[in-house]
Amino acid sequence: KLQLSLAIIKPHAVKNPVALSYIRNVIKNKFVVVKTKRVTLDQETAGNFYIEHEEKFFFNRLVTFMSSGYIDLHVLGHRNAIQLWRTMLGPTKVFKAQFEDPYSLRGMFGLSDTRNVAHGSDSIASAEREIKFFFPDFSFYEWHTNT
Ligand code: CMP
């Protein structure tokens, strides 16, 4: 059965043709890409998406960055989509990614803890929220199942 995750390719990676073509290739090779769109976010929308981080010291930096250019959104399908995409990303912190998992996407293309290449849903509940956030008409339960 297909589990879903939301992947967001962040602005610096969308702007970097080497990173973007590599990322698209690994996505295509591992997942069913259920939906894709390229958007820009205003600061308010980016802030709402990352609302759980509202109190963090990096919140303003994150929101400014995420609304600074095009981002690519992908709804990824795989038996184990959430964990697989996060494993492919590597650690959130780029310093750690470069040392502990240098061939992860963040290890290869990460520039800083904010410009860390891509986002991945961290649970089934957050995947559902995040997919609905960007694809409000998407019929989550037609696709998703826990079993
Ligand atoms: P993401 O998976 O998009 O979810 C939250 C984001 O906050 C994270 O990736 C990073 O881009 C950002 N973030 C997390 N920790 C830090 C940090 N210590 N400094 C700056 N940005 C961070």
CA angle 37, 3, 20 (to 5 degrees): 35
CA distances, 92 to each of 111, 112, 127 (Å): 11, 9, 17
pLDDT at 108: 98
pLDDT for position 79: 96
ipTM of predicted assembly, 2 dp? 0.95
**How would DSSP label each residue in 93-106?**
SHHHHHHH-TTSHH
* Domain architecture of the chain: domains with CATH: 3-142 (3.30.70.141)
- Indicate the average pLDDT of the chain: 95
**Residue 14: pLDDT band with limits 50, 70, 90:** very high
Pocket of ligand 1, candidates 58, 61, 72, 73: which has the most ligand atoms within 8 Å of its Cβ, to mutate? 58
Of the candidates 11, 138, 13, 12, the residue with the CA atom closest to the CA atom of residue 76: 138
pLDDT tens by residue, 52-86? 999 999 999 999 999 999 999 999 999 999 999 99
> Which residue ranges have their beta carbon within 6 Å of ligand 1?
53, 58, 62, 92, 113-114, 116, 119
